[in-house]
Amino acid sequence: MPMPNAARADVSSRAVRLTKREIEVLSLIAQGHSSREAADSLYVSKRTVDFHLANIYDKLQVNNRVQAFRAATRLGLIPFEPTFGHARAES
């Protein structure tokens, strides 16, 4: 279900703060890692990663990973670093 414009404006106008760990989790998810892969990378359980994601969704007032990534980059909470479209170095 799409988020009403008023709710989006509310997120943009108020200070949203993510913890250091929430930023780490969201950054790994934004790079395409699954919850399990992020958990392994951070040496925590998948349940812990999912807990952090739930907190992130709540703080950003979103419903999924894509919306969280878009909201966090729009608010400057995580950098937008496109990795696709770049030429790969030949071996």
Q: What is the pLDDT of residues 3-44, one digit of tens each?
A: 555 455 555 556 889 999 999 999 999 999 999 999 999 999
57 within some domain: yes
80 within some domain: no
Q: Which domain holds residue 23?
A: 17-74
27 within some domain: yes
**Two tokens at 3?**
């988020």
* Confidence class for position 91, pLDDT limits 50, 70, 90: very low
Q: What's the CATH number where 40 sits?
A: 1.10.10.10
7 within some domain: no
CA angle 85, 87, 90 (to 5 degrees): 150
Distance CA 58, CA 56 (A): 5
37 within some domain: yes
4 within some domain: no
Q: Encode pLDDT of 71-88 as tens digits.
A: 999 999 988 766 655 454
Count up the domains in the chain and report the number.
1
